[in-house]
Structure 1
């Protein structure tokens, strides 16, 4: 293939979860990107497993909500703890999970539990289009009309835009010379052990803090039956015996399938775009792990960028629209990194009950607000605790959810295009107008990504 040249509107460097999500969203908007991923296949070792409700709303938009829900693991005991899994107290997790599910009046999204990243990726790739594994981006140059990239197999790609989804050590970011803001590496190095074992827990659970002195760590559900991850800070060779100690069952058969080591990082790129090149996901920001904010922030990056690229590529908007990507997503990334850092230092801010006052004193924001209560444009939030108060139809906020028919939300009415929502049947506009009985938020102009652009009272 040496010297062979191909053309595409958008080249995505990186075929992890965020790169695949961007490809799905671009295709949803009528753009067919090319994704290249240096790994030979989808990763089997999940690095994340918490799909937030805002991400589920985005999956709903592209018709993947049910598929991801099927891939998720049914849970009734969120986060539990015990000296070993056999000694864990499942009752505390049940109360936490049940209370959370009862309060979801602000979103149409539902997910029955956690969805490990490897299972999530297998859903995304069904709608991602052209994804080439075992191929890396080696170098690129950009000019006024596009980007010329050289791939590891010798091909040259001419693209109108390049998007870097190539991870925390992004080559694209390094070539662009973009600096980083944040504390960098935090905490101690952690070993992640993917293993197989036939477990029969009393109830399904998302994760379990293991407090045994010889096997301290966090046991994480992958499929809830045969596949699990054990995260441990112990500086020791992971063995089946270590896993059996954590499980509290010396007789169980354990197969170690993969071992990774990592250390949490907190960093945000100083620029999320340079010319025709954009950063998304870990290439744009590394979020400390507590809170499940990292992957979900990357999905929101892709959602923000995809419609803008599509509108510019179709000639329905000028290139200045793409300048808003950095302006909108950079403050969100900084806020999210700081919120994860606060939780990393004090996990009770995230997992504890009745922690509103403690969060206020620490400058922490309640997790649902971090996930979907933020606003573009820098306006102050009405509440750092109750996300429903933040979704009030104000410009820059995500459109309020109301059920308008059986199974149909106001978010569904947007349909990935500009539209107006109103209670006034006399409103006319150059975009679709949806008249919603009982709509209390005045007349609002809504962007294709479901954020309010203008409010007319």
Structure 2
């Protein structure tokens, strides 16, 4: 097959995992048609992440994927418990209902956990991305790239034909996984504890009924055959995934995991020396039955290098405890996409893109600390954390030039979302509203564009918003709480921290950008100035 020598795009996304696919979807829905390249021939073939938190589900809900995700729920929906023991058959050191601890109340979010395996989610998101107009090219690998002041020129290879061609992009989003090849080529390192464990993963079929004793769980932390071993059920009944740590520093390697040894280790983990075990390939047709994983934690020193941005595991890696990894990558993509789209459309200055690192890197650092505490706590049976899960999922705070504070910055990197303040930099609080008999969330009003939520006596904001949006050349949607929308729980004013004449400006990613506690003397001027500051507008963007 002959490929054209040179393609052009506003944004090139490298990597077709969940972070890269999400970035491409969010860009396409913002009107920017990216090209995505991924060296593998398809989306993930293994489950990887087994659940996605309610903040990720809020994001996908805004893009119309909630129903499709709900229709692909995994078996883990009915297996909420996590256990810890020496062996599966032995005495437990802890057991708890994980979902009961992290499920949000209806006053906190309109969503729940998405109990969907990552391979299923990636297929759904890929389909939505392609339908939205993104150019998705699996089986295409990045060979090299050159970043310059006017963009990035990448050479890619079609692995089916062997043909190479170039893609010139205004910006490159590196979603190329934890090996972070693009970041490494740019000489950008990372901080953190590093690699904590090397793990051998394999799948086996066995009847564990005697050891289970009627228990049903989503994950077991076991001390045998080595501390840090985990056992989890797979989609097919009687099929299990075992992850066993090994030590390269002691001369151990994946080559040590023969089928016979794998069976012996599985019997040790279960606590049944006579257990009948059959190893199976993790993917039908594979000859390889054992795969390796590095579990660790680090955060990149930088999230931007000129016109190159890092998202997902390319920017940060956290231990799997807490299910933060993939969810943090989805939030990265959501944060970056609207900013790239605004700059590409000429609505914002390039400095807006600096706020991506300013906002997302501190979140990754706090998330890593949380995941490390969870990891140690679960291995030790304490479950100790510094921040409760719901606060970590919903309550992290952004501090950047893309947030206009209305007073002294609150203490700490997070706020309890169950006691919302509406401060700029936080996720817009969820409040149930009614429109002509239909219940909807405030979050359903705030996506894809800037949104101004106006108090019941703030009618003047509607005209002010039209004036300011026209002056700045941006799409600004206005919703009048108490007029077109009924606050039937009487929560909106307190949750958003404004009076009946006040207003809150919410960014396209659902975070509060600015607010006016009450109606100022010149609302159009105040709003126009806020938009210009948020969008880093300079003289070239004057209307």
Q: TM-score, normalised by structure 1?
A: 0.87
- Equivalent in the alignment of 1:412: 444
Residue of 409, 419, 422 corresponding to 1:393: 422
2:197 is the counterpart of 1:191: no
CA contact (8 A) 2:143 2:157 kept: yes
Shift of 1:136: 1.3
Name which of 232, 239, 250 aligns with 2:262. 239
Match of 1:78 among 60, 63, 81: 81
Q: Distance in 2 between matches of 1:305 and 1:15?
A: 16
SS at match of 2:173: strand
Question: Aligned partners of 2:372 and 2:228: how far apart in 1?
Answer: 22
Aligned residue number for residue 318 of structure 2: 287
Which shifted more, 217-226 or 166-175? 217-226
Instruction: Indicate the residue corresponding to 1:435 in structure 2.
Output: 480
Q: Go from structure 1 to structure 2 and tell me whether the alpha carbon gap of 1:91 and 1:290 turns closer, same or farther (over 3 Å shift).
A: closer
> Could you give the per-residue CA deviations for residues 316-338 of structure 1, whole angstroms, max 9, x where no partner exists?
22222212111111111222122
SS of the aligned residue for 2:188 comes to coil
Cα deviation 1:227-264 (Å, max 9, x = unaligned): 54222225662634544554567246552424222232
Shift of 1:100: 4.2
Is it true that 1:27 corresponds to 2:28 in the alignment?
yes
Q: 1:421 and 2:449 equivalent?
A: no
Of stretches 51-60 and 205-214 in structure 1, the one that deviates more from structure 2 is 205-214
Aligned with residue 208 of structure 1, among 220, 223, 228: 220
Any conservation in 1 of the 2:318–2:367 contact (CA below 8 Å)?
yes
Q: Are 2:402 and 1:367 equivalent residues in the alignment?
A: no
8 Å contact from structure 1 (residues 10, 32) kept in 2: yes
C-alpha distance in 1 between matches for 2:455 and 2:244: 54
Following the alignment from structure 2 to structure 1, what is the Cα–Cα distance between the partners of residues 104 and 32? 38
* Structure 2 match to 1:137: 142
The answer on whether the counterparts of 1:26 and 1:33 sit within 8 Å (CA) in structure 2 is yes
State how 1:34-433 maps to structure 2 within 5 Å: 34-73=35-74, 74-82=77-85, 85=88, 92-94=95-97, 96-98=98-100, 100-101=102-103, 103-111=105-113, 113=115, 115-129=116-130, 130-153=135-158, 154-186=164-196, 188-195=197-204, 202=214, 204-213=216-225, 217-223=229-235, 225=237, 228-233=240-245, 237=257, 239-240=262-263, 242-243=265-266, 246-247=269-270, 250-251=275-276, 254-257=279-282, 258-347=289-378, 352=382, 359=385, 364-377=386-399, 379-380=409-410, 386-389=416-419, 391-405=420-434, 406-425=438-457, 426=459, 427-428=461-462, 429-430=465-466, 431-433=476-478
Identify the range of structure 1 (78-87 vs 255-264) with the bigger mean alpha-carbon deviation: 78-87
Greater shift in the superposed pair: 83-92 or 290-299: 83-92
Q: Give the distance between the partners of 1:316 and 1:383, measured in 2 at CA.
A: 30
Between the aligned partners of 1:197 and 1:105, the Cα distance in structure 2 is 43
Deviation digits for residues 150-175 of structure 1 (CA, Å, limit 9, x no counterpart): 11341100111111001122221122
Distance 1:145 1:102 in 2: 45
Relative to 1, partners in 2 of residues 1:337 and 1:82: Cα closer, same or farther, differing over 3 Å?
closer
Deviation at 1:287, TM superposition (A): 1.4
Which entry has the higher C-alpha Rg, 1 or 2?
Answer: 2
CA apart distance, 1:69: 2.7
SS of match in other structure, 1:347: helix
Unpaired runs of at least 5, structure 1: none
**Cα deviation digits, residues 187-215 of structure 1 (max 9, x gap):** x3222224456877746532122355589
Q: CA deviation at 1:412?
A: 0.3
Q: CA deviation at 1:76?
A: 4.4
For the residue of structure 2 that corresponds to 1:400, the secondary structure is coil
CA contact (8 A) 1:84 1:210 kept: yes
* Whole-Å separation in 1 of the counterparts to 2:206 and 2:119: 18
Alpha-carbon distance in structure 2 between the residues aligned to 1:318 and 1:384: 28
SS in 1 for 2:297: strand
SS across alignment from 1:190:
strand
Aligned to 2:516: 456
Query: Do 1:146 and 1:159's aligned partners in 2 also have CA atoms closer than 8 Å?
Result: yes
Count of matched residue positions in the alignment of Structure 1 and Structure 2: 444
CA contact (8 A) 1:197 1:254 kept: no
* Cα offsets for 1:109-140 (capped at 9, x unmatched): 11363x32222212211112232222211211
CA drift of 1:86 comes to 6.1
Distance 2:189 2:349 in 1: 28
Describe the SS at the equivalent of 1:387: coil
